[in-house]
Structure 1
Amino acid sequence: MFHTPDTETLRLCSVLTSIAFGLVFALFRFGGRREAYFVHWSASAFLYAAVLIGFDSAPRGQPFAISLLMGALAATNMLIVSGLRAFDGKPPFRLWMLAPVAGCAVVHVLPVLIAGRGPGTGAWTQAVDTVTIAISAGIAGGILLASGRRDRSRARRIAGLAILGYLPGYAIVLVAIFSMTPRINYLALIPMLSDQLLLGVLNLGLLAIPAERAQQRLIDAALRDPLTGAWNRAGFDRQAGRLASAGATVLAIDLDHFKQINDRHGHLAGDTVLIELARLAGAEVASLGGAFGRLGGDEFVAILPASRAPDAQACASQIHEACRKYTEGMPEWTTSIGVSQILAGETGHQAALHRADGALYRAKLTGRNKLTA
């Protein structure tokens, strides 16, 4: 049905694809978006195109020229890693990144240096080249895949799996070499065929990484209260969904005499107090593994995980005490807190929040600045 493609045509397709993606990365970098990681990924794509051209035009019988190309091929993988590190705000380059590059370059000439140019040297050279470049691909793909799992990034996992997708092809090459397959010339087709499937997936995955983060930031912004940075009602409900289980503690938090603060000191001072309350209480809740949100006005809510159930009252007191440490120069303010726990058999946190609101109302009636269960 299909004619077997020749290596030169496939190599040309890979070169053109790499140049195209290299230009896309470069245009993102120099077209108004100043993210440095695009430079790394652009350099990786352009370098890969140059390496493929170099393999096609390198003089035969020059192992040192090929060794440089092998080192450059490994460098394309390390540039992907350095770009990912730059994207994460880390120093892009680390000393260990030189090891795969130097290894691919040095190992290529070892069979010649050890055994000379004998009849079997070519097969051994091709074998060690395949192993070393597979190691560099495995390192890059593994780092992308691991960071994708850690950050719950689908784009990173796609890019990582694309790089790791080259490994079966390298394994086929090794098997063919050591089984003395007579049609050894066809072995060069396997990496090029892999390119046609995986090169676009890899680069599209890299392009999707910043887009995925931008989308997540938009989602977070929609779920955050713009004044205090705490979760809004929708955001808190989403966070509470993962924490709501029997024994989890729900706190209803209210700022005492908030209207008087606004009337005496102005709405700007009132906003400052809300921000300070969210900062202090939110930090305490986060340290306890919980979620903190603003329901509206001066009404806040928190949920602590069930693992804190044995010392729920102490945790609530800790949050209440934190709200007494407001910054000097601000209007004096206090909070009232109602505490409840999710009971066995209850689904969600709404029933516990209703009880916490009742406890908060009792705290207000009995003088405010209190913690009531």
Structure 2
Amino acid sequence: MRLCSLLASATFVVIFLSLWRGRREQLHNVHWAASLLLYCVALAGLEWINRPEDVLIRSLLVAALTASNIPLSTGVRLFAGRPLWRWWMSVPPAVTLIGFLLPSIVGVLGMPMPPQSEQLLAAFGLALGMGTFGADVIRQAARAVPDGYGGRIAGIALLAYIPCYLFAIAGDILHLATPSTLAVVALLSDQLLLMLLNVGLLAMPAEAALAAMRESAWRDGLTGVYNRAWLAQVHSGFLQPGTWLAHIDIDHFKSVNDRFGHAVGDATLVALARTLVTATLNSEFEFAAKVVRMGGDEFLIIMPNASLLKAQRLVQNARKAVSDLGPFDWTVSIGLTEVLADDTALSNAVDRADQQLYAAKLAGRDRVAA
């Protein structure tokens, strides 16, 4: 079974390195390959070195098993764009090394510890490593692919090793099973969890690529803000009182195209979109408010969990920022409304915001109507 673990790990080493050769910029594959390679070396060394006098070498190999999770975690961190190294990463391998050596050190001092103490303390260090790095993988994977499951599966696979180690510790102390039976259970668990771990890692780039494609499909090609397709996908999440909508339209936009050309008109739309996004980021809503291009020169700002005062403050700031843009004088009109409890669809509130927009234009443009 240990040979099966070695062969499975070596196979995934080849897979990760092959992926890296295809795309050299994806260095996270190198980290994951290094993790598995270190795991193979440690397993093979423990298989071949069994003499009692080689306790130092065996302790280093057991510590290497725990340390093999470090490049696994740094690979996920690299994928998520996070700092690679943290001081706490050295703690589990150190605990494993010290725990394995402790019975020998204490024995030299004339205070022998119970039999199997090496294995028990090493199992504790390995469990600590799996818990520490498993939690980190889950946390960083959620940052890398918020809606993905691959990284979470990989992290859960690491955490699932902990019950196996605890079972080995309890079985040895309480004599629930023979040492050979405990070893078989550990290796069988390794066969399953090792596969889940690496399949989860392989899924992460695919999930990230799919998320990027979906995000691209939900973005307006000219301005980069969200489009109607995105709004159709998420509209139900905003269908609650306290959500305010601002419908925005450029005043006399046709004259901009007629006087300066469509290239200038497009640049005006891009400038407006950037101004609206900046206004939302500088507002009390921070990242909660969303900007959507409804078509042509019409935009929609969605402000969840807002009040009339906060919504007015945001759109007035955006309107004033537009008037300072240049290079020619142009303004926007804005219609503001709240989603009501009896609205059956977000389009009901959008229609009211459009009516308020029309009222702002009738009142002389360059203003907010609510």
TM-score (norm 2): 0.92
Give the alignment of 1:64-103 within 5 angstroms: 64-103=56-95
Q: Aligned partners of 2:314, 2:177: CA distance in 1, in Å? A: 73
Number of the residue aligned with 2:10: 19
Partners of 1:364 and 1:182 lie apart in 2 by 82
User: What stretches of structure 2 of length at least 5 have no aligned partner?
Assistant: none
Provide closer, same or farther for how the CA distance between residues 255 and 310 of structure 1 changes in structure 2, counting only shifts above 3 A: closer
CA distance in 2, matches of 1:182, 1:161: 26
Q: Equivalents in 2 of 1:78, 1:67: separation in Å? A: 17
Task: Tell me by how many angstroms 1:323 deviates.
Answer: 2.3
Deviation sequence 1:312-339 (CA, Å, 0-9, x none): 333332332232232x5x3332111111
Secondary structure of the residue that 2:294 maps to in structure 1? strand
CA offsets 1:30-69 (integer angstroms, 9 cap, x no match): 2234211111101011111111111111141111001110
Flag the 1:198–1:104 CA change in 2: closer, same or farther, 3 A: same
Determine the structure 2 residue equivalent to 1:174: 169
Distance apart, 1:103 and its partner CA: 2.0
Q: What is the correspondence of 1:275-294 to structure 2 with a 5 Å cutoff?
A: 275-286=270-281, 287=283, 288=285, 289-294=288-293
Between 301-310 and 115-124, the greater mean CA deviation after superposition: 115-124
Q: Is the 8 A contact 1:339 1:356 kept in 2?
A: yes
1:134 aligns with 2:127: yes
Q: Which residue of structure 2 aligns with residue 7 of structure 1?
A: none
CA shift digits 1:154-211 (9 cap, x unpaired): 1111111111111111111011111145722332222211111111110000011111
- Equivalent position to 1:352, from 328, 335, 349: 349
CA distance in 2, matches of 1:358, 1:280: 23
Alpha-carbon offset, residue 122 of structure 1: 4.1
The answer to whether the aligner puts 1:124 opposite 2:125 as a matched pair is no
User: Structure 1, residues 253-302: CA drift from partner, whole Å, max 9, x if none?
Assistant: 00112222122222222111111111111222344222110011111111
AA in 2 matched with 1:355:
R
- The structural deviation recorded for 1:130 is 0.4
Cα shift at 1:78: 1.5
1-structure distance, mates of 2:313, 2:183? 68
2:224 matches 1:229: yes
Out of 38, 49, 53, the residue aligned to residue 40 of structure 2 is: 49
Deviations 1:62-98 (A, max 9, x none): 1100111012111111111111111111221222211
- Rounded Cα–Cα distance in structure 1 between residues aligned with 2:22 and 2:45: 30
Which residue does 2:19 correspond to in 1?
Answer: 28
Alignment correspondent of 1:366: 363
Residues 255 and 334, structure 1, Cα contact 8 Å, conserved in 2: yes
* Compared CA separation, residues 363 and 282, structure 1 to 2 (3 A): same
Determine helix, strand or coil for the equivalent of 1:306: coil
Name the % identity: 36
Matched, 1:331 2:328: yes
Aligned-pair distance for 1:23? 0.9
Which stretch shifts more, 112-121 or 164-173? 112-121
1:345 Cα deviation after fit: 1.6
Equivalent AA in structure 2 for residue 348 of structure 1: A
Please say if residues 245 and 347 of structure 1, whose CA atoms lie closer than 8 Å, have aligned partners that are also in contact: no
Q: 1:182 to 1:14 in 2, by over 3 A?
A: closer
Whole-angstrom CA distance in 1 between matches of 2:114 and 2:323: 77
Structure 1 residue aligned with 2:317: 318
Q: Distance in 2 between matches of 1:63 and 1:345?
A: 74
Q: Which amino acid aligns with 2:202?
A: L
The question of whether the paired residues in 1 share the 8 Å contact of 2:107 and 2:113 is answered with no
Aligned residue in 2 for 1:37: 28
Give the residue type in structure 2 aligned to 1:134.
A
Who is 1:272 aligned against?
A: 267
Distance 1:122 1:72 in 2: 23
Q: Tell me the residue number matched to 2:233.
A: 238
- Structure 1 gaps of 5+ residues are 1-9
Residue of structure 2 in register with 1:199 after alignment: 194
User: Do residues 111 (structure 1) and 108 (structure 2) align?
Assistant: no
Give the Cα–Cα distance (whole angstroms) in 2 for the partners of residues 82 and 30 of structure 1: 19
Aligned mates of 2:271, 2:221 — CA distance in 1 = 14
Check the 8 A contact 1:22/1:42 in 2, yes or no. yes
Distance 1:23 1:308, change over 3 A: farther
TM superposition shift of 1:307: 3.2
- In structure 2, how many angstroms separate the alpha carbons of the residues matched to 1:51 and 1:71? 9
- CA gap of 1:221–1:182, structure 2 versus 1, over 3 A, is closer
Work out the CA distance in 2 between the residues paired with 1:234 and 1:32.
32
